Structure 1
Amino acid sequence: MGTERVRTDRLGLLLDQFDCAREQARVRLTGLGDAEYLWEPVPGCWSIRRRGEATTPRAFGPGEWVLDQGAPDIPASEYAEVARQAAGGMTVAKIAEDWSVSVERVEEVLRHTGPALPDDSPVTTIAWRLAHLHFCFAGQWEWTFGERRTDPKLLVDFTPEAGPALERFWSLLDRWRDGVAALTDEQLDTVGLSQYPYGSDPDDPYAAVLWGTNLEFIHHMAEIGVLRDLWAASGAVHG
């Protein structure tokens, strides 16, 4: 990127970061086929599955295919965020509601001292990562620029086919970006501009929400990149 194209305003920086990440992701996902999309590198992966075959307790989706989701908890990687929420004035009850956990679990996290141990997180398929991002961005659009009525978990009809999944996802990102690009500085500073119901969006200025959305996109696309590398490296097994 040449320096003559770099924007230094808040919205410009965040949009440029997103655009660069999206461009890299589109290249990285070129040639994704159905088998790789659904590939489970280890037993017990989270993925998308037919409704009657889901094995996780809170799998969701409006159609035949649902997205695996486990029991609610606060992962160790988010302990610092919980501490920031408490330091910022959020009550324990509100934090518990935010994370869909008990008050006792929040109190346990806040009492924790020393380094947090790595999370015992499930390995996921590429399908899971894309579907997770898809429903998150669909919900962000609906609860920021849309009617703010439909549960994000009911907005995306998940599919076992990589091509249609990607086509719908890129189209959604275009619509979401168009909405963000039209925001004013005042709207960036508005607390609760996004009313996305899963997380702290209603309590945060939208600039912070947008920063977190970029981070979520970059994080999951990096995970997808690793899964693509593993698939390619293990080609002798499934080739």
Structure 2
Amino acid sequence: MGTEGARTDRLGVLLEQFDKATDMARVRLAGLGDEEYLWEPVPGCWSLRRRAEAVTPRAFGPGEWVLDLGAPDIPASEYAEVARQAAGGMSVDKIAEDWSVSVERVEEVLAHTGEPEPDETQVTTIAWRLGHLHYHFAGSWEWTFGERRQDPKLMVDFTPSAGLALERFWATIDRWRDSIATVTEEQLDTVGFSQYPYGSDPDDPYVGVLSGANLEFIHHMAEIALLRDLWRFRFTTSR
């Protein structure tokens, strides 16, 4: 495989990674139907539901269809991130605001020693994972390149139509990619270049924010790909 003309600067590497991930995701999402999109492989899944049928306390969205979301907490997998925030000078009050939890909960996490217990995370549907990615990238664009006014959780009109959801999602991703390509080296090093309100973006250099966005896209698309495989073989597994 030739490397002539390949970019090795920081932005170039991140763009190439994102482009490869989106190319693979487009292939893996081709032919997604409504039934598969909303399939709940186990009881108690988080999914996309009509507002009146939501099963979680913080389900959100601007229209009839909302994404399930449970009570706020700091998962065990993020204890190290909370410790990093505190070590970096973020106050306990600010950390609590960042995670939407009480100061007491942050203090409990910071005082924890040893390995935390594994998280009991919810299984989520393809619709949920795709919706999660959609509002995240729509909100990240708004709070970096847009007017920095809209609540990310109210920016995406979720839909039970897989085809329409994908059409809207890829339009958001294309806009994100076009804007990212314009970022300068100076902006990559700028702390707070993104002001996305759900997370530590305002406190991080933008190169770290971009790296995190790539990771978010890749790991959720991998989960979606696995769910598609399970859907395909759901009635063929021998007992």
TM-score relative to the length of structure 2 = 0.96
Per the alignment, residue 121 of structure 2 pairs with: 121
1:2 offset after TM fit, Å? Answer: 3.6
Per the alignment, residue 165 of structure 1 pairs with: 165
Per the alignment, residue 53 of structure 1 pairs with: 53
Per the alignment, residue 149 of structure 1 pairs with: 149
CA RMSD of aligned residues (A): 1.2
- Write the letter of the residue equivalent to 1:208: G
Per the alignment, residue 110 of structure 2 pairs with: 110
More helix per residue: 1 or 2? 1
Per the alignment, residue 231 of structure 1 pairs with: 231
C-alpha distance in 2, partners of 1:80/1:111?
12
Per the alignment, residue 194 of structure 2 pairs with: 194
Structure 1: which 5+ runs fail to align? none
C-alpha distance in 2, partners of 1:168/1:223?
20
C-alpha distance in 1, partners of 2:82/2:54?
30
Per the alignment, residue 10 of structure 2 pairs with: 10
Per the alignment, residue 205 of structure 1 pairs with: 205
Q: Aligned residue pairs: how many?
A: 237
C-alpha distance in 1, partners of 2:134/2:5?
29
Per-residue Cα deviation, 1:167-222 (whole angstroms, up to 9, x for no partner): 11111101011111001111111111111110111111111110111111111111
- 1:82 to 1:4, Cα distance in 2 relative to 1, 3 A: same
What is the SS of the residue equivalent to 1:66?
strand
Structure 2: which 5+ runs fail to align? none
TM-score relative to the length of structure 1 = 0.96
C-alpha distance in 2, partners of 1:225/1:66?
23
Per the alignment, residue 88 of structure 2 pairs with: 88
Q: Superposed, which structure 2 residues align to 1:41-80 within 5 Å?
A: 41-80=41-80
C-alpha distance in 1, partners of 2:235/2:165?
23
1:236 offset after TM fit, Å? Answer: 4.9
C-alpha distance in 2, partners of 1:94/1:45?
31
The sequence identity of aligned pairs, in percent, is: 78
1:113 offset after TM fit, Å? Answer: 1.3
C-alpha distance in 2, partners of 1:5/1:82?
40
